[in-house]
Chains A and B, each alone.
Chain A
Amino acid sequence: MSAIVEFRGVGYTVEQAAGSLAILQDLNFAVEAGETLVLLGRSGSGKTTALKLVNRLLAPKGGAVLVEGKATVEWDPIRLRRRTGYVIQETGLFPHFTVAENIGLVPRLEGWPAERVRRRVDELLEGMGLTPGEFRGRRPRELSGGQRQRVGVARALAADPPVLLFDEPFGALDPVTRFDLQQQFLGWRRTFGKTALFVTHDVREALMLGTRIGLMHEGKLEMLVAPEEFKRGTSAEARAFLASLDWRMESDAHRPKQ
Chain B
Amino acid sequence: MLTGLSSEMVARTLEHLELVLVAMLVAAAIGIPVGVGLTRRAGLRGPVMGLANVLQTIPSLALFGFLIPVPLIGGIGKRTAIVALVLYALLPILRNTLVGILGVDAAVRESAVAMGMTDWQVLREVELPLATRTILAGVRVATVTTIGTATIAAAIGGGGLGVFIFRGISTVDTNQILAGAIPAAMIAVAADEGLGWLERKLLPV
Contact = CB atoms under 8 A, between A and B. Distances in A.
B117 interface: yes
A137 interface: no
B113 A79 contact: no
Interface stretch (A22-30, A83-91, A113-121, A225-233): A83-91
Interface string B97-112: 0000000010110111
A226 to B, nearest CB: 29
Contact of A57 (B105, B110, B126): B110
A89 B106 CA distance: 12
A94 B116 contact: no
11 contacts: A79-B116, A81-B114, A81-B116, A82-B116, A88-B107, A91-B105, A93-B111, A94-B111, A109-B115, A109-B117, A155-B115
Interface in B82-135: 105, 107-108, 110-118, 121, 126, 129-130
A109 B129 CA distance: 17
B111 A88 contact: yes
A106 B110 contact: no
A78 B110 contact: no
Q: Which secondary structure dominates chain A's binding surface? A: helix
A95 interface: yes
A77 B116 CA distance: 7
Contact of B113 (A81, A91, A95, A106): A81
A84 B111 CA distance: 12
B114 A109 contact: no
Interface string B28-68: 00000000000000000000000000000000000000000
Chain B interface size band reads 10 to 19
A5 to B, nearest CB: 15
Contact of A78 (B108, B111, B116, B130): B116
A88 B108 contact: no
Interface in A89-113: 89, 91-96, 105-106, 109
A96 B112 CA distance: 13
A106 B113 CA distance: 11
A109 B114 CA distance: 13
Interface of B: 105, 107-108, 110-118, 121, 126, 129-130
B107 A57 contact: no
Given A78-B118, A106-B115, A109-B121, A91 B107 contact: yes
A149 interface: no
A45 interface: no
A57 B118 CA distance: 13
Contacts of A80: 116
A169 B189 CA distance: 48
Contacts of B116: 77-82, 106, 109
| Most A-side CB within 10 Å, residue of B107, B111, B117, B121 | B111
A78 B116 CA distance: 5
A95 B111 contact: no
A200 interface: no
A155 B118 CA distance: 17
A82 B108 contact: no
Given A94-B108, A109-B121, A57 B113 contact: yes
A55 interface: yes
Nearest to B121: A109
A105 B121 CA distance: 11
Given A82-B115, A106-B116, 10 more contacts: A57-B110, A78-B116, A78-B118, A81-B114, A82-B116, A84-B114, A91-B107, A94-B111, A94-B112, A96-B126
B111 to A, nearest CB: 4
Nearest to A158: B115
A91 B108 contact: yes
Contacts of B110: 57, 88, 92
For the complex of A and B, the 3 pairs showing the least CB-CB separation, nearest first, are A82-B116, A81-B116, A92-B111
Contacts of A84: 114
Nearest to B118: A78
